[in-house]
A and B are shown apart, each in its own frame.
Chain A
Amino acid sequence: MVTAAFIIFGLAAIVSAIMVISFRNPMASAIALIVTLCSIAGLFAIMGATFVAALQVIVYAGAIMVLFLFVIMLLNLKRDEFGPEKRKIQRTLGIILGLLLVLEVGIFIQAGLGDFGPSPAGDKGSFTSITELSSLLFTKYLFAFEVTSLLLLVAIVGAVILAKKKL
């Protein structure tokens, strides 16, 4: 079961990663990248790192990819760079999926928000638990954790320098 899941997620990650670089349409590449990131989240989940898997989906497949898509749209690419248009199918599909989402959210709200409590006691001590992860971050990998903040600072300053109109 685990092996089967591993093969499925691994194949999905590789195939979609190849699609990211082979599509001419940047939008399609971005969507394929979301598939890659979600498959990697699946791989994390198989290894029992459910917290990391959740973070992977929320941060990468969610937040960062939304930013990517925004940037691609803001870049105002010319028509021919997008490839031939297939608006009609997309529009109908978009409407159907949107309605589905509304329906889903409605059902969830009606059923109550469900159990959002802490993970069961059995998880403690394994890599799954947030406590364990954070204690690693503040003991064994404290130095790396601090250097990461430095890395982000350099990246921010660098991005501002390269992108700002007038320094």
Chain B
Amino acid sequence: MSIPIPSINIGAILPEIILIATAFVIIFVELFAPKRWRLGIPIICFAGLLAGFYAVGSLWGETIFAFGESVTSDNFALFFKFIFLLGALLVTLISVDYLKREGIYHAEYFFLILLSTVGMMIMASSLDLISIFLGLEVMSIALYVLAGFNRTDPRSNEASLKYFLIGAFASGFLLYGIALLYGNFHTTNLGEIFALLSGQESLSIIGLIGIVLVLIGFFFKVAFVPFHMWVPDVYQGAPTSVTAFMSAGPKAAGFAVLLRIVIYAFNTSSPEFTNLLWIVAVVTMSVGNIVAIAQNNLKRMLAYSSIAHAGYVLVAVVAGGPVGTSAAMFYLLVYTLMNVGAFSILIVFGKRGEDNLNFSDYAGLASKYPLGALAMTLFMLSLAGIPPTAGFVGKFYVFSAAVSQGYVTLAVIGVLNSLISVYYYIRVVVVMYMSAKPAEKFYFTYSVPAIIALIIAAWGTLQLGILPERWLSLAKDSIFSFLL
């Protein structure tokens, strides 16, 4: 029996291939090269990520289908790949000296960062539920291990185990949902499901349950309320550089799939889903912001704030259409920059063992390290959404998208939440600049790569805040190529 091989178009997955090859080089250098070469591993990782940026740039503008119809390289996927690469690049930079300080400098760390990024890329560009699931698992399994990378620290072990158990639970929901969808539509291809759906008026019960289960699986991964219970413990226990990584890329990857499923297959015009997402968005924003107020640990505070920010992005998803989708994509880009930036401040001023992460440990930081405090202020203002930072522009587009689509109540609730969040972000600034009782000692790790990462993040936060037009139009381009 002869088997017709489908068109493979390997060029469409060039960014993934580059990162996989880099990961292999890293593991082989670790295994076979002399010991002193190990110091060059971050450089290899960095070069691979830069090559990935180049590949994304060279593919921009075309829509290519590969491996039959199961993978695509369109602008939508490429925009998200850019976000993932940016997150991975910043995290690679802040990790180098951090890992040495904590005594966990192993090549496998960079290997796992790269392959986790590949998993996200597969999620963003897959058009098939099976390969979306596999991409999710590649990403998640690498993250479980990274969360427990500080093997001698019980908190890190706890984070890894909790994340793994919850993640496996979520995968169960997702897989069951996919199975039900397959039973209903007899295909796992999103395009074919879309074609079947557009022919009929409403979904069958089985299909409905399947979609809800798939959504629940992703709600766990993106950590919407009420599926957020794991976030604070995992974010606090994991090594700080890993927390920075987890808060940026995987969240964006979850949203990439969510946007693709919501728009591509089950378009938002069906009111049931919009209502569902509406409620989840409100609850997520409110719970994230209100609980964040009560936190004294900066990492935990940022964990709850990341839940709240997922809620803001969901507002844009509810708004839907080209406006809402491009606003969501722009916000995810902005969030990656400012959030990884805030985490890199925590890394630079952290001490070995990471027990100086309370607000009081940063009291009076401005008098000793004015530049560090200034950068932290910038990131906090941006997270709070105050002009002229990128966070303001991001929130502006998200809420104006909601208003333009008629979701005024939702936008009002979002703005109120944003006001609540100002309290705990500004509290960091107040503590750093105006504290009567300065902390006894600051710990400063002089790390050139981390400072480069800080400069990139700070520059990006300002650039996107003052001149957002270019990036916003890129986000808009990617959405149009995708809807046509």
Contact indicator A161/B149 (Cβ below 8 Å): yes
Binds A, one of B75-83, B131-139, B258-266, B363-371: B131-139
Q: Which residues of A contact B130 (CB under 8 A)?
A: 141, 144
A75 adjacent to chain B (CB < 8 Å): no
A158 adjacent to chain B (CB < 8 Å): yes
Chain B 116-135 interface residues, beta-carbon cutoff 8 Å to A: 116, 118-119, 122, 126, 128, 130-131, 134-135
Q: Which residues of A contact B116 (CB under 8 A)?
A: 154
Nearest Cβ in chain A — how far from B147, in angstroms?
Answer: 10
Contact indicator A148/B145 (Cβ below 8 Å): no
B27 adjacent to chain A (CB < 8 Å): yes
Contact A139:B4 (CB < 8 A) given known A144-B131, A157-B112: yes
Contact indicator A158/B70 (Cβ below 8 Å): no
Contact indicator B68/A139 (Cβ below 8 Å): yes
A interface, how many residues as a size bin?
Answer: 20 to 34
A95 adjacent to chain B (CB < 8 Å): no
Docked CA distance A167–B131 (Å): 32
Q: Which residues of B contact A157 (CB under 8 A)?
A: 27, 108, 111-112, 145
Interface size on B, residues (CB 8 A): 38
Contact A143:B66 (CB < 8 A) given known A138-B5, A154-B141, A162-B160: yes
B444 adjacent to chain A (CB < 8 Å): no
Contact A147:B131 (CB < 8 A) given known A157-B27, A157-B112: yes
Q: Which residues of B contact A4 (CB under 8 A)?
A: none
A99 adjacent to chain B (CB < 8 Å): no
Contact indicator B68/A151 (Cβ below 8 Å): no
Chain A residues in contact with chain B, CB under 8 A? Answer: 131, 135, 138-144, 147-148, 150-151, 153-155, 157-158, 160-162, 167
- Interchain residue pairs with CB less than 8 A apart (29): A131-B1, A135-B1, A139-B4, A139-B5, A139-B68, A140-B6, A142-B70, A143-B67, A143-B70, A144-B70, A144-B130, A147-B122, A147-B131, A147-B138, A150-B20, A150-B115, A150-B118, A151-B141, A153-B115, A154-B145, A157-B27, A157-B108, A158-B141, A161-B106, A161-B151, A162-B145, A162-B148, A162-B151, A167-B106
